[in-house]
Amino acid sequence: MKFRKGFTLVELLIVVLILGALAAIALPRIMGGATTAKINACKTNVDLINSQIELYYATEDTWPTLLTDVTRDPNYFPDGEPKCPFSNLADYVYDPATKRVGDHGH
């Protein structure tokens, strides 16, 4: 008597249900982690820009009038102007009164 080796339909259904449950648990955590990473990257960019604004002041003995005076200068940002990881939001905004770039909603 020969027996076929393989999985029954019930065994396959159980495996699919287990994989579905694991995916339901893992996906929200992964998606939340991506958002947290973007928020942290944005905050890091704000801190970096503000540090470079202070360096600009120390070097030039005057505050920049525009943010692009600092961000587009390869002496301060050799890899190019920092961009917010949230593409649908506005770029960083420089406040000439406080001489800082503020948090823009994250």
Q: Is residue 26 part of a domain?
A: no
Q: Is residue 94 part of a domain?
A: yes
The tens digit of pLDDT for each residue in 6-16 reads 778 898 999 99
Domain count, the chain: 1
Angle formed at CA 26 by CA 22 and CA 29, multiple of 5 degrees: 160
Q: How far apart are CA 19 and CA 34, in angstroms?
A: 22
Q: Is pLDDT of 35 > 90?
A: no
Q: Is residue 17 part of a domain?
A: no
**Owning domain of residue 38:** 32-101
Q: How far apart are CA 66 and CA 90, in angstroms?
A: 16
Burial per residue of 11-36, b for 16 or more beta-carbon CB atoms within 10 angstroms, e otherwise: eeeeeeeeeeeeeeeeeeeeeeeeee
Question: Does pTM surpass 0.85?
Answer: no
